[in-house]
Amino acid sequence: MYKILEKRLQQLLTTRHHKTLKGNQIGLEKESLRVSKEGGIASTPHPAQFGSALTNPFITTDYSEALIEFITPASSDLRNGLQFLYDAQKFVYEHLKSEQLWATSMPCIVGDDSSIPVAQYGDSNAGKMKTVYRKGLGLRYGRAMQVIAGVHFNFSVSPDFWPEYQISEQSNDNLQDFISCQYLGMIRNLQRYGWLIPYLFGASPAVCKSFLQGASTQLEVFDESTYYNPYATSLRMGDIGYQNNKEKDRGFKANYNSLPGYINSLSNAIDLPSPDFDLLGLKDSNGDYQQLNTNVLQIENEYYSTVRPKRVPLVNEKPTLALKRRGIQYVELRSLDVNAFHPLGISETQLRFLEAFMLFCLYQESPPISPEEHLEIDDNALLVAHNGRTPNLSLQRLGKNIGLEAWATELLGQMTGICTLLDDVNKHSHYQDSLEDHIALIKDPNLTPSAQMLAEMRSTGESFYGFAQRMSSMHHNFFRTLPLTEDKFQFFLDAAAKSLAQQSQIEQAPQVDFATYLRQYQEQQ
């Protein structure tokens, strides 16, 4: 099963081509919910000191006005990403005053939908489109889903890596087509083995009862304000999180077996009418847009996936067209919970493991995913999210049962060679140490973040709200007491000012009416 992996690693080592791995690019996106000191979702606008959410490349908002998103530039040194994330959060904390950032993925003290502010991006057509899209998400799935936070790990291999690798793979394809094909292979394996991420990184085994807003649930009662599953790893990635739950009923599933297949599957869903969403109405009673369309997907980003192929689009360019025209640029892994035990939401040890895991998924053989394997992938992911630490838990692999512990041990064992190569090119940067740390979590599920969270809640007698509130306050104090250099503070001030000027320039430029803008966007070919 791993012969091709071993052959590829040996080829890299023999030719010394593994030295190009030092140029791997890593970027982070971390979402953090702004809350009051009592833990309620902030109703205040995105602070002006952070600049324009439309145009600031480093500090913006995600689905809700209260959900800040930090974006780090891509870097070949993952410590640079962590430092940038620290600096950005420190800058934000300097301006929050009576608010703080929530330390967990799942929110708390959630009222009805009207209490959750939808993100606002100004009066330009581009800004209106972003807001209408989010209104549509709230209309379709409920706004509570908009305030779940996560961490995204963006990864690309060094450009210097590809030409020699293509030769070793004996491919005559156009180089960019070869790169896209290899990234899709990585993505298929990230799905096959994706259950490993919530097991190792999951940090949402419990949730405030208020999040479910009175809906029935099979979750168990932890205390008077908390639901949980005793062996859950990541309820965020389970069936209470933001999912396209009716995709099977609508006959839609993204195709990762080829880039044209992926593009066509998403494009078809954007064009496919949905009777359910049509009943909701394209516009509200005032004649204002409340969805971008009434089809299965409004735009590509609505399709929830744990991993996405990405290409930075040009201004107003559809993401699928960017992929079609210029191929895959990087891969976005989206299944990471916010690490409540770390002020940054993710640790250096976790990042080193993820880089090695992404490379493992690239080098490992990756055949097409059949419809039957699609079902296994979905079932495994849901099972691990809700019950991943269950003793002797079995998963499905190509029609056969396999124990989670046995499969995970097998996978991490195959990552040893990759970690050795990464330690070599990065001068012993603890990749093998990180792998050993995560192997320990396989051997003892009680060491996982999800188990540690529940253990603390039991030992302190805390609800999920109490635990999350305490960790949020600890992180708040951590950032408020540590310094931010004057030049870095000025960097974020300048970025904020520049973004506000850019938004003003966009809004002052001549614009067509929004309906025309939307039609022109949707009709791009």
Average pLDDT over residues 238-246: 65
Average pLDDT over residues 232-244: 82
Q: Taking 70 as the threshold, does the pLDDT of residue 245 lie above it?
A: no
**CA-angle at 422, arms to 419 and 426, nearest 5°:** 140
E strands, 25-95, where?
25-36, 59-61, 67-71
Model pLDDT, residue 111:
86
Q: Taking 90 as the threshold, does the pLDDT of residue 79 lie above it?
A: yes
For 205-244, letters b (16+ CB in 10 Å) and e give bbbbbbbeeeeeeebeebbeebbbbebbbbbbbbebbbeb
Task: Supply φ then ψ for residue 15, to 5 degrees.
Answer: -85, -5
- Helices marked H in 272-318 — which ranges? 275-280
Pick the CATH number of 3-152+183-312+332-522 from 3.40.50.2300, 3.30.420.40, 3.40.630.30, 3.30.590.20: 3.30.590.20
Average pLDDT over residues 69-79: 97
Average pLDDT, the chain: 94
pLDDT digits (tens, 9 = 90+) for 429-485: 799 999 999 999 999 999 999 999 999 999 999 999 999 999 999 999 999 898 899
Model pLDDT, residue 428:
72
Model pLDDT, residue 242:
55
Average pLDDT over residues 490-515: 97
User: What pairs with residue 403 in β-bridges?
Assistant: 394
* Sign of the dihedral defined by the CA atoms of residues 509, 511, 517, 520, in that order: negative
The DSSP call for residue 20 is: G
Task: Supply φ then ψ for residue 42, to 5 degrees.
Answer: -60, 135
Task: Provide the CB-side half-sphere exposure for 372 (13 A, CA).
Answer: 5
Q: From CA 165, how far away is CA 179, in angstroms rounded?
A: 10
Domain residues of the chain, as ranges? Answer: 3-152+183-312+332-522
